[in-house]
Chain A
Amino acid sequence: MDSGLAGKVVIVTGGSRGIGRAIVEMFSAEGADVTFLFRENTAAAAEVVAAGRAAGRQITAEQVDVRDPEGCAAAVERVAERCGHIDVLVNNAGLVRDNLLGLLEDDDVRAVLDTNIGGVFNLTRAVVPHMIARRAGKIINVSSVAGEKGGRGQTNYAASKGAVNAFTRALAVELAPRGITVNAVAPGVIETDMSQAVRDRAGEEVKSRILLRRFGAPIDVAYAIWFLASRYADYITGEVLHVDGGFKME
């Protein structure tokens, strides 16, 4: 069975580590031409590119803060110039700054919202005209279980991810007539650097609230995104696919 991803032009935000890196590696291994955006971890980004190229894969890194609309637009244009079009956008870049509401600094709120939902707007607005012109494309947003399940100290993060879910459904309606699908994947607790503090704070107890009694791995999320980007998901749009071991249901 052919996923249809070979030769596709893919943009992934936040691709230097964690879930983003797993996505970059999986898609490029399928034969896709992957450009990933990263904000600051130059060494990690270089490592992803070097490892991929050593394996004969098409991987390009662009240092862009997704909060910067002009930077996002310019990066998208560079990909379009180089490849001629864009097939898949994975909005993965995200930021966590957990704290109780009363202890959140203004910047904790602003940075999380600007990155997690502002970044989705910035990239998607730049990519969509390219997809509309071709009457094809797949947009996959990385949301979170926090978008639907209440979590102490996560008002900023939960608000941003709830917004991602709403954005996904609204844009799916907007773009369906042009043959573009828009979906989201909502990871639960995944073993990444970003969730390290959450896991440290919650301890083993949180596993008892996950039906499958374990944390997820980045590859678990990457598989779901791969599916939504593949031809097997051509008839799916406006969905939020939970990859959380049943955490949302507990």
Chain B
Amino acid sequence: MMPVDITKDEILAVYPKVAQTMADALGCDVEEVALNAPLIDGLGAESIDFLDIVFRLERAFKVKIPRGKIVEDARGDLPEAAFEEKGYLTEVGLQRLREYLSEVPADRFHLPMRMADIPRLFTPETFCKIVARGLRAGPGDPSRA
């Protein structure tokens, strides 16, 4: 099941705090953290920064964000073998990812795409949505974060 869509209002409600958290983690000015800025290619985040970002967001918003949750949610009820093959997204997998990461411009989704490159698509809005889902779920229900 794909998680229920988060509204723009919910995203904007958490965005200032998410942006500040990301600025702290990435050592940049909060003004640089635009809602749709690619975290890796735009803000210079490295893979280890995602660990830091998630850790800080969990504390800032008192929500639980399980590691790998974005890909897991994007895959939904699709069998793993249908979502990826030998470390690369399948066509169906790419479609699922595009639907889930609706905040990312469509032209950034293209095959071949390695699973390891999925974080290149993430933006602050991606994390705003995760946080908003976590807040909807309430404390102690990480399965819906």
Interface of A toward B, CB cutoff 8 Å: 128-130, 132-133, 174-175, 177-178
Contact = CB atoms under 8 A, between A and B. Distances in A.
A174 B52 CA distance: 13
Contacts of B55: 129-130, 132-133
A129 B54 CA distance: 9
Sort chain B's interface into a size bin.
under 10
A132 B46 contact: no
B40 to A, nearest CB: 15
Nearest to B58: A129
B48 A133 contact: no
Main secondary structure of the interface of B (DSSP, over half): helix
A130 B61 CA distance: 16
A129 B56 CA distance: 9
B56 A174 contact: no
A130 B55 CA distance: 8
Interface in B41-74: 46, 48, 51-52, 55-56
A132 B50 CA distance: 11
Nearest to B54: A129
19 contacts: A128-B51, A129-B51, A129-B52, A129-B55, A130-B55, A132-B48, A132-B51, A132-B52, A132-B55, A133-B25, A133-B52, A133-B55, A133-B56, A174-B48, A175-B48, A177-B46, A177-B48, A178-B48, A178-B52
A178 B49 CA distance: 9
A26 to B, nearest CB: 30
A128 B51 CA distance: 9
A29 to B, nearest CB: 32
B67 to A, nearest CB: 10
Contacts of A178: 48, 52
A133 B48 CA distance: 11
Contacts of A132: 48, 51-52, 55
A132 B51 CA distance: 9
Contacts of A128: 51
A133 B64 CA distance: 17
A141 B48 CA distance: 21
A33 B48 CA distance: 28
What are the 3 closest A-B residue pairs judged by CB atoms, nearest first?
A: A129-B55, A132-B52, A133-B52
Given A129-B55, A132-B52, A133-B55, 16 more contacts: A128-B51, A129-B51, A129-B52, A130-B55, A132-B48, A132-B51, A132-B55, A133-B25, A133-B52, A133-B56, A174-B48, A175-B48, A177-B46, A177-B48, A178-B48, A178-B52
Contacts of B56: 133
Contacts of A129: 51-52, 55
Contacts of A133: 25, 52, 55-56
A32 B46 CA distance: 33
A129 B25 CA distance: 11
Contacts of A174: 48
Nearest to A80: B59
A19 B71 CA distance: 43
A170 B56 CA distance: 24
